[in-house]
Structures are given as C-alpha cells and as structure tokens.
Amino acid sequence: MTGLELVFITDPALSDKELESLQKNIKMSLSKSEGKLVHEYVWGRRRLAYEIEGNDFGVYHTWYFTGSGKTVDELQRQFGYSDNVLRHQIVKVEDLDTEAAFMQSLIPPKEERVEKESSEESSQPKQEPEKDVLANSENEKSDEEEQIEAENQSESDKEESDSSAQEDDSESLEA
C-alpha cells in the first residue's frame, strides 16, 4: 500500500452535523476501497487565493492514509459527487509520519487558535493607525527631501569654494 496525502477544502457554511456527515461518508469510501486513515488534521478556516463557487473562505482538511489506485479513484469519484467539497488533491508521499509531523507543526494547538480568533474578533482596525502610517510615510518623504536638499546645498557650497579658490589663484598669478 502506498502512502498518500489528501487535502480538501469544504464549504465554510456547513454546519457541524453536515461536516461530520461528509467526513463520515469519505471515511466509509476510504475503508470500502481498502484504504486506511493514518492521520487526520483540520487546518481550519482560511482565506482562499481566489473565489471558488462564491466563497472567499474555505475549511482546509488534510488526511494521510494508505491505499492503492483503487482507493484514489473511489475518493475522487466521491469528491466529484459532493457539492460541499470546493477542491481536493491527492498526492503520493514517501513517509506518512514525517509529512504528518510537518503538517502538525503548521497547525497551532487548539487553545492558541481559540485565543487568536477571540483576540482578532475583539480588536477591530482603527482609522488612526492608518493615518499614523500615512503621516510617517509623509514624514519619511520630507526627511528624504531635506537630506537631498542638504546634499545639493553642500555640493553647491563646495563648488562655490572651489571657484573662489580658483579666482584667488588666478589673482595671485596676475600680481
């Protein structure tokens, strides 16, 4: 049996019961086609790179399993029937445990996710920081302009001193 990684994105509007039912159906298809689920991760609700079927967000799931070509065919057939799965991809992997450990390192523990989500919801972006950023960028521009002016002034002062020194040299030669 070959080690495989399955990543699929489900509709974020699914209720918990609907999501459980979908996952149960996929697991049944997996076991009927002689596959064995080894690791299962829910990566969570994430923003999609582009809109899919009117959704800007999706819930990412990653499963590691063993199976054959028959297993892959059956899973792809089941995903084709489901309107709740936005996208899916099955990839062959060399070492299931190594890949699963890497995926686990990407997913924060559940306590951290809950804290992060609650802090993001409670803090809403304010207009003042944006104004501060704009003001800072304008200040940086004016600082850069002042530096350029100072450099130009120092260059012109240097040129004036050079030209006055040349005049002094020419006067001393004439005398």
Classify residue 117: in a domain, yes or no.
no
Q: What's the chain's Rg over C-alpha atoms? A: 32
CA angle 14, 107, 85 (to 5 degrees): 30
Residues 60 and 134 reside in one and the same domain: no
Residue 133's pLDDT band (cuts 50, 70, 90): very low
Q: How many domains does the chain have?
A: 2
Residues 30 and 103 reside in one and the same domain: yes
Residue 63, domain CATH: 3.30.70.60
Residues 28 and 99 reside in one and the same domain: yes
Residues 28 and 107 reside in one and the same domain: yes
Residues 141 and 100 reside in one and the same domain: no
CB-count burial class (<10 Å; 0-12, 13-18, 19+) for 82:
middle
Give the pLDDT score at 59. Answer: 92
Section 91-107 average pLDDT? 82
Given a cut of 50, whether residue 85 has pLDDT beyond it is yes
Classify residue 39: in a domain, yes or no.
yes
Classify residue 31: in a domain, yes or no.
yes
Which of helix, strand or coil describes residue 137? helix
Section 106-114 average pLDDT? 61
Instruction: Report the distance separating Cα 9 and Cα 61, nearest Å.
Output: 6
- Indicate the residue type of 114: V
CB-count burial class (<10 Å; 0-12, 13-18, 19+) for 167:
exposed
Pair of tokens at residue 23: 């996952």
Residues 138 and 76 reside in one and the same domain: no
Nearest to 100 by CA among 46, 143, 39: 39
* Statement: the pTM of the whole predicted model exceeds 0.75: no
Classify residue 25: in a domain, yes or no.
yes
